[in-house]
Structure 1
Amino acid sequence: MQIDIIETTGLGDRSYLISAGGVGVVIDPQRDIDRVLALAEKRDVRIALVAESHLHNDYLTGGLELARTVGADYAVPAGDTVAYDRLPAADGDVLAAGPMRLRVLHTPGHTHHHVSYVLTDADGTVQAVFTGGSMLYGATGRTDLVGPEHTSELTHAQYHSVRRLVDELPAGTPVFPSHGFGSFCAATPTSGESSTVGEQARVNPALTQDEQTFVDQLVAGLTAIPAWYSHMGPGNAAGPAPVDLSMPRPVDPAELADRLAAGAWVIDLRSRTAFAAGHLPGALNFELAIANFVTYVGWLMPWGAPLTLVGETEQQVADARRELVRIGIDRLAGAAIGSPEALAAGRELAAHPVSDFTGLAAALAADPDLVVLDARRDDERAGGGVRGSLHIPIHDLPGRLDEVPAGDVWVYCGSGYRASIAASMLARAGRRPVLVNGAYGDPDTGAAAAGLHAQPATV
């Protein structure tokens, strides 16, 4: 049997194609199914089964469309209520596809009805386990996505689910999770690119801690939930529409200027330094080249708001569209392609300075009352920050812009990515941002190296 990993780095997820005897099985596919179809063609397999470990909270599935396109069975956990025909996958069921068998294990925790799939050959020899959002590499899936009233119950369930996997499977069984590669569906940071059940028994908190310690630490470590997650579960239960990856309608410079003047959401996809050097006034900078692009567009943009993309090339816009459809941002208002100078059509461009933590230290030495904005999450801020800085997490900034004083504002985050988004928002709101472009924790160039890091009690 061959197991191919289909990476979706922008969401921190993996899907899988299992091939044997000319037959394919797909686990937890993303919505842009052309990648899966191309891989199946390369492997020369007919996809006979598509299986979901759970109704996903971080993306719209491609499973329904894929199964309908290729005529495959579509397995979804039996306990989930959905609006389409499916093969209900219940604990103990064995799903057959060619020489492959998938034994269903109910592993609640990430959701109530979450299942894992144990892959065996026709003789029953275990080949691998696909754990979805249950057992991750050195962690588990978060347990607060269904609703806060269920978090405690699901966290206890997660503990027992991970232990069930270890109790029932050989130690050498390869583990293939769907989450945990940067996904906000992971309860705590994960580690490693591959693992086995035996290795997890030695390192996974659910297997090295007592139950209450595990529960307390997992709940205490839960971070903010991206706003767009609330739309994914209902969308997956209803059944996502077929994906559309066509190019958005072209927007000319005059129409683009009108949208910017009206305060519409216009996203510039270029790098943060290119954006800072010159951009259309009122545009927002979400750098496409960074894996977090779709996470922060989905988190910050009002859901359903008209969105216009600005890119240097058609490919850049096409890549952004692919990222966005994965979370259901389908109806783009259009796209403008070209340099900012060409798209400005004679109008003056905006710009803002770029510095680093050393530059920030020098600026604070000259003016101790300088306004400094920390755009990191609460859990990052809990480890300390720049002394005297104003802390507003990036996902809260749209509703708290009035808390940022007028005038010059130096803004930083963990890497510079979120700081650039924040800087563009501040500029649109009439502030004069300075982007601190650097990694906060870098031992050579970060905040501590510049003498700026303060412990939580003194920030």
Structure 2
Amino acid sequence: MHVEQIYTGCLAHAAYYLESKGEAAIFDPLREVDPYIARANKDNAKIKYVFETHFHADFVSGHLDLKKKTGAQIVFGPTAKPGYEAIVAKDGQIFEVGDYKVKVIHTPGHTMESTTYLLIDDKGQEHGIITGDTLFIGDVGRPDLAQHVVSELTEEKLAGHLFDSLRNKIMPLDDHLIVYPNHGAGSACGKMMSKETTDTLGHQKKVNYALRADMTKDEFIKELLTGLTRPPGYFPQNVLMNIKGYESLDTIKERGEKPLSPRAFEVAANETDALMLDTRTPMDFARGFIPNSINIGLKGNFAQWVGEMIPDIKQQILLITYPGQEEEAITRLSRVGYDHTIGYLEGGFDAWKKAGKEYETVGRIDVNEFEETYKREKPVVIDIRKKSEFDSEHVVDAINVPLNDINENLSRFPKDKSFVLYCAGGYRSMVAASILKQRGWDNFVDVIEGFDEIKKTSVEKTDYICPTTLL
């Protein structure tokens, strides 16, 4: 059976391409649809359907642009109420793609419209299941997201629905079926997903905690809800975009790909409420940046951190990128609904500097300097990593302020004494540094390459790295 997983690592997202006899289907596409169209053209195939497993929270789907550009029909599972023309399928309904069949299996729980698609080959044999966020490899979808859109859908109610869906719809299926989930490790849609992106259902029944055969519903709900972290703030806004509709990516790119000279960029920054977003590496940002700009590097989980750190998806954005990366930045912003880029700095930061414009820097120290400073001065040390990372191991006496909580915890950053920032590898701490600089802090340094380097070079020489078990 011709099934192809199209995986995008920075979002830990998997879309799927199915083709038979010149007909194709796309499952859970990302916002930019040209790669899917090109893939179908390679097979001389026409995209017949765009299947959506649910209204996604962590990205804006490309179903509307695919329909517009190819004429494909959009398919949702039962109970979905899209604000545009689409097929709302019945449980058990079968769609034909060439000689293949796609059977709708309604599996509410992650959301109420969540649907699994059973793939049946040209010989009538069941091949696999495209599970969306119902079943991951090693995990299942979190049931606490829909309540941020529909308040009466509590996480307990949805967890109960998910238990029933798994036991009554998924687990009775044959063990040989291949599980094709929507996400892998790194996605915020689950809590303990595997790095593997496919597996057999039979193996998942053996190793996935949520599929344990002797688990009661109450045990399932308790275990599923334990340890859930706060979902990113942009999730409900993405859900609404996927329900109601959105502008074409072509329109967004046309609006955003507007080159601005240093002078025009400065005028735009002063005369609008646009946020200046610098997407360069932490190292280059630290060496020089436009005052009041925020650093979230493209070489990292860019879209996810934009979603975490910029509360309003309608925020206007002015981009500072390396020359030639403007389109990539605009596209990756649009994946999570940030559609209001209004221009970019032509020539990048180098053009700004050559124009004699004011710029700032971030102080940084390497691990040897950190070790010496730590021993000599015992400075305030602030760890920007997630609580789970901090709880596992951290510098003794460090204060934990996770990056996604920084705006609510600015009072924990001293203004009357110097302090040191670190994260795991330097990416998140530079995001934090840029925010602190914007808010008026200038009395800190950042550790180059972060805790990973501190631990690697210093753990055998000092005792200042403290595992939780020793606290």
> Could you state the TM-score of these two structures normalised by the residue count of structure 2?
0.90
- Retained in 1: the 8 A contact 2:67–2:74? yes
Match of 2:464 in 1: 452
In structure 2, relative to structure 1, the CA distance for the partners of 1:166 and 1:235 (3 Å cut) is closer
Match of 2:224 among 211, 218, 221: 218
The residue number in structure 2 matching 1:172 is: 176
Structure 2: give runs of 5+ residues left out of the alignment: none
In structure 2, relative to structure 1, the CA distance for the partners of 1:409 and 1:248 (3 Å cut) is: farther
- Number of aligned residues: 456
Equivalent position SS for 2:259: coil
Do structure 1's residue 207 and structure 2's residue 211 form an aligned pair? Answer: yes
Residue 320 of structure 1, CA deviation: 0.6
Residue type at the aligned position of 1:58: D
Residue type of the partner of 2:179? Answer: V
* Alpha carbons 1:8, 1:14 under 8 Å: kept: yes
Deviation, 1:441, is: 5.3
Cα shift readout 1:255-276 (whole Å, capped 9, x = no counterpart): 3335666885211111111111
Alpha-carbon distance in 1 for matches of 2:370, 2:390: 18
Specify the code of the residue in structure 1 equivalent to 2:205: A
Rounded Cα–Cα distance in structure 1 between residues aligned with 2:65 and 2:277: 29
Q: Deviations over 1:234-255 (max 9, x none)?
A: 1111122221233522222123
For residue 283 of structure 1, what is the aligned residue in structure 2? 293
Q: CA deviation at 1:455?
A: 4.5
Query: Does residue 350 in structure 1 map to residue 354 in structure 2?
Result: no
Aligned to 1:51: 51
| Whole-angstrom distance in 2 between the partners of 1:430 and 1:380 | 28
For the residue of structure 2 that corresponds to 1:10, the secondary structure is: helix
Whether 2:63 is the aligned partner of 1:63: answer yes
Partner of 2:305: 296
Provide the identity percentage: 28
Partner of 1:364: 374
Shift of the 155–361 alpha-carbon distance from structure 1 to 2, 3 Å rule, reads farther
Larger displacement relative to structure 2 (400-409 or 276-285): 400-409
Q: Does 1:192 align with 2:196?
A: yes
Amino acid across the alignment from 1:89: A
- Secondary structure of the corresponding residue to residue 10 of structure 2: coil
Is 1:437 the equivalent of 2:440?
no
- The CA distance in 2 between the partners of 1:446 and 1:265, in whole Å, is 38
Q: Aligned to 2:57, what secondary structure does the other structure show?
A: coil
Deviation by residue 1:284-328 (Cα, 9 ceiling, x = unmatched) = 2111111x10111122114122211101212x1111111011112
Partner of 1:231: 237
**Deviation of the 1:126 alpha carbon:** 0.5
CA contact (8 A) 1:415 1:437 kept: yes
Q: 1:136 maps to what in 2?
A: 136
Q: Which residue of 2 aligns with 1:338?
A: 347
Contact 1:248 1:335 in 2 (8 A): yes
Q: 1:218 to 1:446 in 2, by over 3 A?
A: farther
Which has the larger displacement, 253-262 or 173-182?
A: 253-262
CA drift of 1:191 comes to 3.1
- Determine the structure 1 residue equivalent to 2:12: 12
My pick for the range that moved more, 56-65 or 352-361, is: 352-361
Aligned match of 2:404: 395
1:428-453 C-alpha deviation (Å, 9 max, x unpaired): 22223322233535795278566433
Give the secondary-structure state (helix, strand or coil) at the position aligned to 1:334.
strand
**Counterpart Cα distance in 2 of 1:84 and 1:261:** 38
Q: CA deviation at 1:193?
A: 3.1
Deviations 1:166-186 (A, max 9, x none): 533221111111122421112
Alignment of 1:329 with 2:338, yes or no, is yes
Equivalent residue number for residue 320 of structure 1: 329
Q: Please give the per-residue CA displacement for 1:31-58, whole angstroms capped at 9, x wherever unaligned.
A: 1111111111112211111110001111
Secondary structure of 1:189 counterpart: coil
Measured at CA, do residues 62 and 332 of structure 1 come closer, stay the same or move farther in structure 2, by a change above 3 Å?
same
Give the C-alpha shift of residue 396 in structure 1: 2.2
SS in 1 for 2:419: strand
The answer on 1:309 being equivalent to 2:314 is no
1:142–1:187 contact (8 Å) kept in structure 2: yes
Of 3-12 and 194-203, deviating more is 3-12
| 2: CA distance, partners of 1:18 / 1:160 | 28
Q: 1:167 to 1:348 in 2, by over 3 A?
A: closer
Contact 1:11 1:183 in 2 (8 A): yes
TM, length-normalised to structure 1: 0.92
1:159 aligns with 2:150: no
Structure 1 unaligned blocks of 5 or more? none
Equivalence for 2:37: 37
| Maintained 8 Å contact 1:438/1:445 | no
Secondary structure of 2:146 counterpart: coil
- Structure 1 stretch 95-104 or stretch 439-448: which is displaced more? 439-448
With 169-178 and 60-69 compared, the bigger mean Cα shift is at: 60-69
Give the distance between the partners of 2:459 and 2:157, measured in 1 at CA: 40
Note the C-alpha offset of 1:25. 1.1
Given that residues 425 and 453 in structure 2 are in contact (C-alpha distance below 8 angstroms), is that contact kept between their aligned partners in structure 1?
A: no
Residues 367 and 454, structure 2, Cα contact 8 Å, conserved in 1: no
Q: Relative to structure 2, which stretch is displaced further, 354-363 or 50-59?
A: 354-363
Of 349-358 and 116-125, more deviation after overlay is shown by: 349-358
Residue 410 (structure 1) shift: 1.4
Partner amino acid for 2:308? W
SS in 2 for 1:168: coil
Cα distance between partner residues in 1 of 2:365 and 2:458: 13
> CA offsets per residue over residues 368-410 of structure 1, 9 Å max, x none?
1x22222223333343433322322212223432431125331
In structure 2, how many angstroms separate the alpha carbons of the residues matched to 1:151 and 1:348? 50
Amino acid of the structure 1 residue aligned with 2:326: V
CA-CA distance at 1:339 after TM superposition: 4.6
Report SS of the residue matched to 2:154: helix
CA distance in 1: counterparts of 2:174 and 2:138, whole angstroms: 18
CA distance in 1, matches of 2:86, 2:208: 33
d(CA) in 1 for partners of 2:454, 2:286:
25
Structure 2 residue matching 1:170: 3-state secondary structure = coil
Report SS of the residue matched to 1:147.
Answer: helix
**Shift of the alpha carbon at 1:350?**
1.8
